[in-house]
Amino acid sequence: MTFNRLALAVCLLLGFAAISVNTASAKDTKEATKQAKAQQLAPDIPSFVLDNGMQVVVIPDRRAPVVTHMVWYKAGSADEPPGKSGIAHYLEHLMFKGTKNVKSGEFSARIASIGGQENAFTSYDYTAYFQRVTPEALEEMMRLEADRMENLVLRQEDILAERDVVNEERNARTENNPGSLLREAMNAALYQNHRYGIPIIGWQHEMNSLTKQDAIDFYDRFYTPNNAVLVVAGDVDAAAVRELAEKTYGKVARRAEPGERVRPSEPTPRAARRVIMDDPRVSTPSFSRQYLVPSYNTAADREAEALEVLSEILAGGSTGRMYRALVIDQRIASNAGAWYQGGALDSTEFGFWGSPRPDKTLEELEAATDQVIADVLKDGVTQAEVERAQNRLIRSAVFARDSQATLARIYGGSLTLGSTLEEIASWPDDIRSVTVEDVNAAARKYLQLKRSVTGFLRPSPAQEG
Amino acid sequence: MTFNRLALAVCLLLGFAAISVNTASAKDTKEATKQAKAQQLAPDIPSFVLDNGMQVVVIPDRRAPVVTHMVWYKAGSADEPPGKSGIAHYLEHLMFKGTKNVKSGEFSARIASIGGQENAFTSYDYTAYFQRVTPEALEEMMRLEADRMENLVLRQEDILAERDVVNEERNARTENNPGSLLREAMNAALYQNHRYGIPIIGWQHEMNSLTKQDAIDFYDRFYTPNNAVLVVAGDVDAAAVRELAEKTYGKVARRAEPGERVRPSEPTPRAARRVIMDDPRVSTPSFSRQYLVPSYNTAADREAEALEVLSEILAGGSTGRMYRALVIDQRIASNAGAWYQGGALDSTEFGFWGSPRPDKTLEELEAATDQVIADVLKDGVTQAEVERAQNRLIRSAVFARDSQATLARIYGGSLTLGSTLEEIASWPDDIRSVTVEDVNAAARKYLQLKRSVTGFLRPSPAQEG
């Protein structure tokens, strides 16, 4: 329900013909960055704001007669009131239950009848709805999506039936999945104050008591045009989108003022935490470690970009340090890697993971991971590693350009996570400007055990006492 | 700022002449309990409610010409809005800054001038103010306390100066005390959803941004007579207290409706957690373990009383199982014990602790503690242990009767934590009715590692990476 590397691949529409490989020195890079920044300050992504405050972004993509239509609300599970976990996701489900003008299920049936696709997703920081249809159907999608922004009707029978559906979703994804349960427990241990410590889908006991009124309250507070971003990607032009948007979304009343998105922030982490889950359903033991780090939205200077490069140096497939050390050289792990989740409105995580080979223990795997980290902290990364990582990251961004839906997600996600179009546009330059010193400084600042939680998932039965 | 064994010693005014030693069998006890209950349903503690909803309890104690005057608000740190940790305690400080009618510091100066004592304290679930003065000064105390219930004046200079004071309090108690920092981190790891995971004094970074408006909001929401309990203990009679209360507190307008106290509750615990703090300021390593358990207010049947008895069996000074096993027999620990914090509006903790002897490790101490627990879970406790524990608990309650201030605290604390006067009165009987089976069942139900957090405090410097 969240996705990695939000910012990845965001440059793609901006005419970066010569993005692929960067072999320039840091100094040259800096100069190149300046020039590129100058070009990008007015990126070629039409964007405007309707009178009711709704932001609209148009991403031209004329390769095929198809459009991706997405509405993003700046409201996710971390915006839920205390005790109401799961309401953001539950409301996402209820949004398909009809309006004053459209019967329950009719919107989805209409999309199916014209051969379109649709989906919706809820994250910590946003909730989004999208359809992928032919350009002729865009106006109808906009009319229907605008309609459910203000005219949602919740019937008691839908409320109860859909609560069963989301509970079943939790059962399938979490309750029956020890790895998911461990991740929940690790998040709860990592976040001491922020609601990122509470699962997006909700705690089971709280989901069970969510009411129609809870859904209405969340809807009335956050589902207002001034809290939404419309992203239209595809075979359309901006003028036409503006006209359609004004005819549809433009008629929706601004009915709430959600204001600035300020959530409780994390205290300075003081102590290393560990979470151990023993479950007979586990077949393969696994190790994971997460550190509390800044996101693109909260980081100072280039720290997020430095962490992105660091994760690529550590993870980067079969040449990454984790895989090379643990799987190839030491033969401790059957698989291992690292990741950075840069897309978050507030603090976020830098993670390591691995599964031990059958003849090795989680403790050995952890010690080997700690050695990989210790090597980075002591000797640092190399210039060659940084450049390879930068090239891979920027190249991935180019590849991502190929998917209209991915592009629309990147824009919608980044904008609801606090980025501007300019920041999205400058991402490749920002990645390219990261130096060896930036990476080493970020690693030393953030990869400290007291900032972390370590998870062990073990196949043995739960130990009592 | 919280206190243990709230319910302890609560029977004392109720004419329990023959409380001390109980050698009756479980069956006899049950019969005795029934008889005692019948007597206690109208315990001899005068209590009434003023027209504005303020509850008043009078505890006659004529041994000395002194009265304890306490006002308890049903509002503590767990009632704070998200992101405003520390506001309950900060407001407690600001309550001494004067009113429309009384200059800053004048209330305290007046108490000092008549040779009285005063204090205030903030807990997760309540905030209380008290003075101990001669009976002649009671009316004045009530007038001044009633005055600051509605007429508080907060000047900007006091706001900033007092914020420095509470920040300094946090520095002294917590920031400079690795044991406190570890306890904070353990609480944050134990409570995945409830605000008991957030320190009463507040997270440092949130305390720094508390404002005058935050204090006013908390005051206006909770400092209303219908959310307060007045406890007067000492050389007074109920009729006189009622007359004075009506003249003073009775004039305070009911200005808010805080409603039912419902906080986010804990999800089912799924995974054992560990918190490790390495700090060069630590001289002696220590071990602790806390399990999530019900409180007197949340427990079904006699589970809280059973946990109370269990903690006495495990802790009970030099004869308790923990001390006997770890300190005397195995010589692993220099000290060790167990505890149950029964007084809480919501879930609470059952804990174990110990310090290893210089030649032993925390791991050895933990293993030995786990063995003590495993023995209880496997073989159970004995009838003789239960009876000794019951006798000790009830005898302690008799001793506590000797302190007027303790009594007033027990009544005020219990009433703000959801107990009725009848429940306070029946505590000794409830303890006495606990059986071996109750204790074993509670131990097996709650002393499971997945419900726990384990803490290691180590003297070595923080490990990096």
- Which of B251, B286, B308 lies at the terminal end of a domain, its last residue? B251
| Residue with token string 């996705």 | A3
CA–CA separation, B242 vs B225, rounded Å? Answer: 15
The tens digit of pLDDT for each residue in A248-257 reads 999 999 999 9
**What pLDDT score does A398 carry?**
82
Instruction: Dig out the tokens for B76 from the structure.
Output: 């503590």
> Last residue of a domain, which of A223, A251, A279?
A251
Using alpha carbons, list the distances in angstroms from residue B376 to A311, B371, B447. 47, 9, 10
Residue B407 inside a domain? The answer is: yes
Record the tokens describing residue B149, joined without a space: 């219930």
User: Domain limits at B206?
Assistant: 47-251
Tell me how far apart the alpha carbons of residues B104 and B109 are, in angstroms, rounded to a whole number: 10
Do A90 and A64 lie in one domain? The reply is: yes
Contact A463 B449 (CB under 8 A): yes
Half-sphere exposure in the Cβ direction for A291 (13 Å, CA): 24
Structure tokens at A420: 């501007």
Give a yes or no: residue B21 inside a domain.
no
Q: Say yes or no: A158 and A284 in one domain.
A: no
Q: Is B277 on the interface with A (CB under 8 A)?
A: yes
Q: Which residues in chain B are contacts of A204 at CB distance < 8 A? A: 267-268
Q: Tell me: the pLDDT tens digits for A321-344?
A: 999 999 999 999 999 999 999 999
Q: What is the pLDDT of residues B344-376, one digit of tens each?
A: 999 999 999 999 999 999 999 999 999 999 999
Q: Is B377 on the interface with A (CB under 8 A)?
A: yes
Q: Which residue has the higher pLDDT, A442 or B22?
A: A442
pLDDT, one tens digit per residue, over B5-54 is 333 333 222 222 222 222 233 333 344 444 444 333 335 789 999 999 99
Residue B16: predicted pLDDT: 27
Top pLDDT among A14 and B383 is at B383
**Cα–Cα distance measured from residue B99 to residue B318, given in angstroms and rounded to the nearest whole number:** 51
Whole-angstrom Cα distance, residue A417 to residue B24? 67
Last residue of a domain, one of A222, A251, A280: A251
**What's the average model confidence in pLDDT over B92-118?**
95
pLDDT at A353 over 60: yes
Same domain, B237 and B324: no
How close, in Å, is residue A315 to chain B by CA atoms? 17
Confirm whether B414 is domain-assigned. Answer: yes
| Rounded mean pLDDT, B94-120 | 95
Q: Domain for residue A272, yes or no?
A: yes
- Determine, for residues B263 and A206 on separate chains, whether the beta-carbon distance falls below 8 Å: no
Q: What is the pLDDT of residue B70?
A: 98
Structural domain tally of chain A? 2
A16 falls within a domain: no
Is B198 close to A193, i.e. CB distance below 8 A?
yes
- pLDDT confidence of residue B39: 38
The sign of the torsion formed by the CA atoms of B454, B458, B461, B465 equals negative
One domain for residues B89 and B180: yes
* CB spacing of A277 vs B267 below 8 angstroms: no
Cβ(A429)–Cβ(A37) under 8 Å?
yes
Mean pLDDT rounded to a whole number for chain A = 89
A465 inside domain: no
Alpha-helical runs (H) found in B226-361: 238-247, 303-315, 321-322
Same domain (yes/no): B226, B280: no
**Kind and range of the H or E run holding A336:** strand A333-340
**Do the chains contact at B268 and A204, CB–CB below 8 Å?**
yes
What confidence tens digit (pLDDT) does each residue in B299-337 have?
A: 998 999 999 999 999 998 788 999 999 999 999 999 999
The pTM assigned to this predicted structure is: 0.87
pLDDT given for residue B43 in this prediction: 53
* Best mutation target, A167, A194, A198, A270, to test chain B (most B CBs within 10 A): A270
Q: Indicate the range of A98-107, A455-464, B283-292, B381-390 predicted with least confidence.
A: A455-464
Residue B462 pLDDT: 47
Whether A292 and A176 map to the same domain: the answer is no
For residue B88, how many C-alpha atoms fall within 13 Å in the half-sphere facing its CB?
31
| Same domain as B151, residue B295 | no
The minimal CB distance from B271 to the residues A197, A265, A277 is found for A277
Which residue numbers of A are catalytic? 92
Structure confidence at residue B319 (pLDDT): 86
Do A73 and A227 meet the contact criterion of CB atoms below 8 Å apart? yes
Q: How far apart (Å, rounded) are the C-alpha atoms in residues A93 and A152?
A: 12
DSSP 8-state class, residue A172: I
**Burial class of B380 by CB neighbour count within 10 A (0 to 12, 13 to 18, 19+):** middle
B79 and B32 within one domain: no
Q: Are A94 and A149 part of one and the same domain?
A: yes
Q: ∠A412-A446-A389 over CA atoms, to 5°?
A: 60
Q: Which residues of A touch B189 (CB under 8 A)?
A: 188-189, 192, 273
Residue among A82, A189, A277 minimizing CB distance to B189: A189
Q: Is A197 on the interface with B (CB under 8 A)?
A: yes
- For residues A138-148, average pLDDT: 97
Is B260 inside any structural domain? no
Nearest residue, CB atoms, A273 vs list B206, B274, B447: B274
Q: From chain B, pick out residues whose CB is under 8 angstroms from the CB of A370.
A: 465
Catalytic option among B31, B80, B92, B184? B92
**Judging by DSSP bridges, how do beta strands A117-122 and A127-133 pair with one another?**
antiparallel
What is the model's pLDDT at position B45? 87
* The B117-122 sheet, strands edge to edge: B47-49, B55-60, B228-234, B67-73, B127-133, B117-122
Q: Residue A180: inside a domain, yes or no?
A: yes
Q: Residue B152 has what DSSP assignment?
A: B
User: Contacts of residue A265 in chain B, CB cutoff 8 Å?
Assistant: 83, 205-206
pLDDT value of residue B461: 61
pLDDT in tens, A146-171: 999 999 999 998 999 999 999 999 99
Q: What is the pLDDT of residues A357-374, one digit of tens each?
A: 999 999 999 999 999 999
- Same domain (yes/no): B287, B221: no
As a whole number of angstroms, the distance between CA A65 and CA A79 comes to 37
Burial status of residue B410 (CB atoms within 10 A of its CB: 0-12, 13-18, 19 or more): buried
Structure-block tokens of residue A215: 């859904």
Mean pLDDT computed over A68-76? 98
Q: Are residues A70 and A36 in the same domain?
A: no
Q: What is the pLDDT of residues B236-285, one digit of tens each?
A: 999 999 999 999 999 999 999 998 999 999 999 999 999 999 999 999 99
> Which CATH number characterizes residue A417's domain?
3.30.830.10
The predicted pLDDT at position A461 comes to 61
Give the model confidence (pLDDT) of A256-313 as tens digits: 999 899 999 999 999 999 999 999 999 999 999 999 999 999 999 899 999 999 999 9
* Residue A276 to residue B271, Cβ atoms within 8 A: yes
Q: In this predicted structure, what is the pLDDT of residue A316?
A: 80
Q: Between the CA atoms of A220, A222, A225 and A231, what dihedral angle is there, to the nearest 10 degrees?
A: -140
Distances (CA, A) of B216 to A384, B91, B94, B128, B222: 58, 8, 10, 17, 10
Interface test with B, best of A273, A278, A292, A451 (most B CBs within 10 A): A273
Answer yes or no: are the C-beta atoms of A263 and A346 closer than 8 Å: yes
Please give the mean pLDDT across all residues of chain B. Answer: 89
pLDDT at residue A119 is higher than 80: yes
Q: Are residues B136 and B210 in the same domain?
A: yes
pLDDT in tens, A78-114: 999 999 999 999 999 999 999 999 999 999 999 999 9
Does the pLDDT value for residue B118 go beyond 70?
yes
